[in-house]
């Protein structure tokens, strides 16, 4: 038998998934805009503003569910985790906007050496795969899928450290390329962290188990 609170929880879940899908789209546009040296800042800004508004709705819905229905422990676990995931999805959009701003002000990968272009393209594609995992795992309540994010996150951490070390040893690298690529790889590394946090929250929703996937 369905409970009155179940409809509210479902509405919260639908809103959260839509938020994640839009954040994934914003990141895809921003990252490919950076790869192609294309100014997508206005488009990403518009999507980011919508995502921020959606995050506010998730927060409002959270307080409504708690105030109106006095949820039991398992419901509170879901509500708390969904609000946490909302923050992670919101951070996706924030970093998407940051990346598009870098492209707008410093241009994309075009002035960089070939090895930098290839390295960041590989790193960016891994980031987009992590974001997709975090959303799909939540949609399907798939804890096994959520746990597949760990090795990719460790690879991103390794790639970030390797890139910084290699970049600083290249005297001929152009200043704009250095500034832009260092910022973008840092944003990639932070996006990876938030993808992991979202997957950890999904596991908690499904099983009640608090785990670390880092």
Indicate whether 190 belongs to any domain: yes
Indicate whether 52 belongs to any domain: yes
Q: What is the pLDDT of residue 52?
A: 95
Q: What is the pLDDT of residue 153?
A: 96
Q: Do residues 134 and 86 touch, judged by C-beta distance below 8 A? A: no
Number of domains in the chain: 1
Asked whether the predicted pLDDT for residue 175 surpasses 80, the reply is: no
Which residue range forms the structural domain that includes residue 120? 4-207
Indicate whether 24 belongs to any domain: yes
Q: What is the pLDDT of residue 111?
A: 80
Q: What is the pLDDT of residue 186?
A: 95
User: Which spans in 36-148 are helix H?
Assistant: 41-69, 73-106, 114-140, 143-147
Give the pLDDT confidence of 87-128 residue by residue, as tens digits. 999 999 999 999 999 999 888 887 888 999 999 999 999 999
Asked whether the predicted pLDDT for residue 12 surpasses 90, the reply is: yes
- The gap from C-alpha 137 to its chain's centroid, in whole angstroms, comes to 13
Whole-number percent of the chain with pLDDT over 90: 79
What is the rounded distance in angstroms from the CA atom of residue 56 to the CA atom of residue 15?
A: 11
171 or 152, greater pLDDT: 152
Name residues whose C-beta falls within 8 Å of residue 101's C-beta, 6 or more positions apart in sequence: 41
Cα 47-140-203 angle, rounded to 5 deg:
95
Average pLDDT over residues 45-50: 97
pTM for the model: 0.93
Indicate whether 23 belongs to any domain: yes
Indicate whether 212 belongs to any domain: no
Nearest residue to 194 (alpha-carbon basis) of 41, 122, 88:
88
Q: What is the pLDDT of residue 71?
A: 87
Which CATH number characterizes residue 67's domain?
A: 1.20.58.220
Indicate whether 8 belongs to any domain: yes
């Amino acid at each position: 038998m369905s409970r009155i609170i179940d409809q509210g929880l479902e509405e919260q879940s639908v809103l959260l998934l839509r938020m994640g899908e839009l954040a994934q789209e914003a990141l895809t546009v921003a990252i490919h805009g950076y790869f192609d040296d294309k100014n997508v800042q206005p488009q990403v800004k518009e999507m980011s503003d919508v995502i921020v508004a959606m995050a506010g709705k998730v927060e409002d819905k959270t307080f409504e569910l708690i105030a109106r229905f006095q949820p039991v422990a398992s419901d509170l676990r879901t509500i708390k985790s969904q609000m946490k995931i909302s923050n992670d999805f919101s951070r996706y959009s924030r970093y998407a906007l940051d990346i598009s701003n870098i492209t707008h002000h410093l241009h994309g990968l075009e002035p960089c050496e070939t090895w930098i272009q290839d390295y960041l393209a590989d790193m960016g594609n891994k980031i987009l795969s992590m974001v997709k995992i975090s959303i799909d795992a939540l949609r399907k309540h798939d804890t096994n899928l959520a746990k597949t994010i760990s090795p990719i996150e460790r690879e991103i951490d390794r790639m970030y450290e390797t890139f910084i070390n290699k970049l600083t040893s290249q005297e001929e690298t152009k200043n704009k390329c250095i500034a832009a690529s260092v910022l973008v790889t840092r944003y990639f590394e932070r996006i990876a962290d938030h993808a992991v946090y979202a997957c950890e929250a999904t596991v908690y929703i499904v099983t009640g188990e608090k785990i670390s996937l880092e």
